[in-house]
Amino acid sequence: MFYILFGPDEFSLREELERIKDSLGDRESLASNTTIFEGKQVGLNQLMDACMALPFLGSHRLIIVEGLLARFEGDKGEWQALEEGEGGRGEFEKREWGEFKNRIGGMPQSTVLVLVDGQVKKGNALLKGLAPLAEVKEFPLLKRAALEEWIQRRVREGEGTISPEAVRMLASLVGENLWVLASEIEKLLLYTAGRRIEEGDVKGVVSYAREANVFAMVDALIEGRAARAAPLLHQLLQEGDTAPHLLVMITRQLRLLVQAKELS
């Protein structure tokens, strides 16, 4: 089995990786048959030696490679000659990693290979070359309706309910950071103890996020993302933040940017 998991939504990506592990049987035996490689340093022969090894006292051998796709991103990527340059594909096949896709087919059925990466371009040569051989899953950051749907689903999985107003406020306060959202939802479920989560509960339990939201508002304002900055500004004012404090934060950030530009 061969999987490629990539995207900026690391929370969902890691959850998918855990689901893959769960599907491979006993976690204790799997742990002793798991090898993790750093994609920037691993060589093809080293990787394939691990992939060809049979599991010891277990049903599967799990090979996880972190950051291999990123190794072939951009102008300096080792795979830039895949469809460019002299010799085209013939030249590419002469490179060390040119045989990777051919050798994957020879892995034992007991081997599960998982490539894990962050955000990569759709034109990534390694991704394009390996995608037909793998189960590929991309994990983009959740936005607006998708983010609110994720919150509702997460609450349901925790055997709770939440009002639409609370969903919108939670999404506005925390944003697209699913690690923080999952933690806050868990706290809200404990706090409400079986009753529906309301807007007031979010205000009371997630109040710490307001300070983090100040920085999100300032960043959005400076970057010219008015559609994001305006709701955050109104939210902060409604929750009791003062205009002078927000102005100080904006001024401070602008000063830091100017200083950084002068130093560079």
Inter-residue contact 44 to 99 (CB < 8 Å): yes
User: Considering only CA atoms, which of 174, 187, 194, 192 is closest in space to residue 235?
Assistant: 174
- Report residue 100 as tokens: 């990777």
- Rounded distance, CA 95 to CA 90, Å? 9
Residue 28 host element (H or E): helix 27-31
Q: Would the pLDDT of 188 be above 90?
A: yes
Contacts of 191 (CB under 8 A, 6+ apart): 201, 204, 205
- Rounded distance, CA 77 to CA 225, Å? 32
User: Considering only CA atoms, which of 248, 254, 174 is closest in space to residue 222?
Assistant: 254
Domain residue extents for the chain: 2-138, 144-260
What are the DSSP calls for 153-192, one per residue? Answer: HHHHHTT--B-HHHHHHHHHHHTT-HHHHHHHHHHHHHHH
- Rounded distance, CA 228 to CA 220, Å? 6
Check residue 211 and give its pLDDT.
Answer: 57
Domain 2-138 grouped into CATH 3.40.50.300? yes
Q: Would the pLDDT of 193 be above 60?
A: yes
Q: Which stretch of 105-109, 120-124, 138-142, 187-191 has the lowest confidence by average pLDDT?
A: 120-124
Inter-residue contact 153 to 147 (CB < 8 Å): no
Average pLDDT (243-260) is 83
Average pLDDT (39-64) is 90
Write down the architecture of domain 144-260 according to CATH. Answer: Orthogonal Bundle (1.10)
Q: Which stretch of 20-24, 126-130, 151-155, 182-186 has the lowest confidence by average pLDDT?
A: 126-130
pTM to 2 decimals?
0.68
